Amino acid sequence: MLNGINPMETLYITAFLVGLLGGVHCLGMCGGVVAMLTAGLPAERRRNLRTQLPLQLGYNMGRIIGYGLAGALMGGLGAIAIGYLPLHTAQRLLYGMAALFMLLLGLYLGGWWPVLARLERAGARVWRHIEPLGRRLLPIRRFPQAIGVGLIWAWLPCGLVYSVLVSAVATGSPLQGTLLMLAFGLGTLPNLLGIGLLAGAAARLAEQVWVRRASGLLVMGFGLYALWQLLML
């Protein structure tokens, strides 16, 4: 709590909505991964929803667990920052940084300013070293393999993920950083599970320009609200 502000409530809600409303970006970044994994299944499993569902759940379970681990790491970095600065100052700086990234993310989601694409390009260098680990688990036939691939998939370069990770730093706590990223991961679940099971039918609404812009404006609204709270102190 920061002088009456409860930043975690805002951050948790924003993280979930970013995951839920970032469907257009997920379609481009992760949709291809889902389609590839689904295409690698035997034909009889692709046609049978009951046998395909456990593997789809496994992919996404592993991915969300991976997000949680990343959130714990970034929350730990925030805790270190708080240890070196006066508590109130550190809280203001970290929360302000998260608010700024909410604004940048809103511009990115709305398609107005793709500045976060630069982060994705930087992350691609790390991804080149991680991606071969996932290939060792292919082709996927069992649930544990699907979870393993999901854990690797969580580190795919993505501006949405990176932006929420900045908010995880602002929590100043490994536990709260984990919970924040789990909230984000749960928000992404409907779109990505729908892409995997319904060949993208569940994501058609997210392809609409107005949905993308509305989601961008909503996230920017959270960022502006957070900045207003800081300025009013």
Q: Which phi and psi angles does 116 have, rounded to 5°?
A: -75, -10
DSSP string for 23-91? HHHHHHHTHHHHHHHHHTS-HHHHH-HHHHHHHHHHHHHHHHHHHHHHHHHHHHHHHHHHHHS-HHHHH
Q: What is the pLDDT along the chain (233 residues), one digit of tens a residue?
A: 444 445 566 778 878 888 887 765 665 556 556 666 666 666 666 556 666 778 888 888 999 999 999 999 999 999 998 888 787 787 788 888 888 888 888 888 777 887 777 777 777 777 777 878 877 877 777 888 889 988 998 888 787 888 888 889 988 899 999 999 999 999 988 877 776 565 544 445 555 677 678 878 888 887 888 788 777 76
Q: In the prediction, which pLDDT does 39 show?
A: 60
Beta bridge partners of 191: none
The residue extents of the domains of the chain are 7-227
Token code pair at residue 26: 């997920």
Q: Which pLDDT does position 224 carry in this prediction?
A: 87
Nearest alpha carbon to residue 21 among 117, 115, 110 = 110
d(CA 173, CA 169): 8
**Close Cβ partners of 163 (under 8 Å, ≥ 6 residues apart):** 18, 101, 102, 104, 105, 108, 116
Token pair listed for 96: 């302000």
- What is the per-residue pLDDT for 130? 82
Residue 67 CB neighbour total at 10 angstroms: 29
The token pair that represents 198 in the structure block: 């319904």
Q: Give this prediction's pTM.
A: 0.81
Cβ pair 167, 67 in contact under 8 A: no
